[in-house]
Amino acid sequence: MHLTVESARGRVPVEILTIHGDLDASNFQDVITKARELYQGGARHLLLDLSDMPFMGSSGVVAIHSVALIMRGVEPPSPEYGWQAFHNVGRERDHSAEQLVKLLGPNPRVSHTLQMTGVNDFLEIFGDRAAAVASF
C-alpha cells in the first residue's frame, strides 16, 4: 500500500488522501500517521479516497475511525488495546454524521465491510469526487 495526498477546494480547503492497495494489519498505522501529519499541518477536512483499495481488513476500519477522531482533534485509542479500538467504532453510530472526514469510491467488497461494521452510519460515502469535495 502507498498513500498520496492532494488538495482540493470546496467551500473549504479539502485534503484528499488516496489509499493505493490493500489496507490491513500490516499498514493501517501508516494511514493514522499520515492523518496526524495532515492535521498537524493544518488540514481540517479530509476526503479518504478508497477507489484504489481492493481490500480492507478490520484494522482498516480502526484506521478510518482513528482518522475521523484525529480530524476532530481527539487522540484515538491505541491499537494496542486491540478489539477495544475496534469496538469504539460501533459507538460512533450513536453520534451524528461526521462532517470532517468523508469517504470516496469504495468498491463493493470494501463497501460491504463498511456496512457490516457500521462505518457507513457515521461517515458519508460518495461515488463522485466533485460531489464529495463540494459536500464539505
> What's the CA gap between 27 and 37, in Å, rounded?
16
Query: Given this model, what pLDDT does residue 87 score?
Result: 57
Q: How confident is the model at residue 123 (pLDDT cuts 50, 70, 90)?
A: very high
| pLDDT, the chain, mean | 90
Question: Domain-by-domain residue ranges, the chain?
Answer: 2-134
> What's the CA gap between 17 and 38, in Å, rounded?
9
Tell me the pTM: 0.88
Q: How confident is the model at residue 105 (pLDDT cuts 50, 70, 90)?
A: very high
Query: Given this model, what pLDDT does residue 124 score?
Result: 95
Question: Considering the domain 2-134 in this protein, what is its CATH number?
Answer: 3.30.750.24
> What's the CA gap between 28 and 90, in Å, rounded?
18
List Cα–Cα distances, 35 to 53, 57, 60, 76, in angstroms: 17, 19, 13, 11
> What's the CA gap between 56 and 20, in Å, rounded?
11
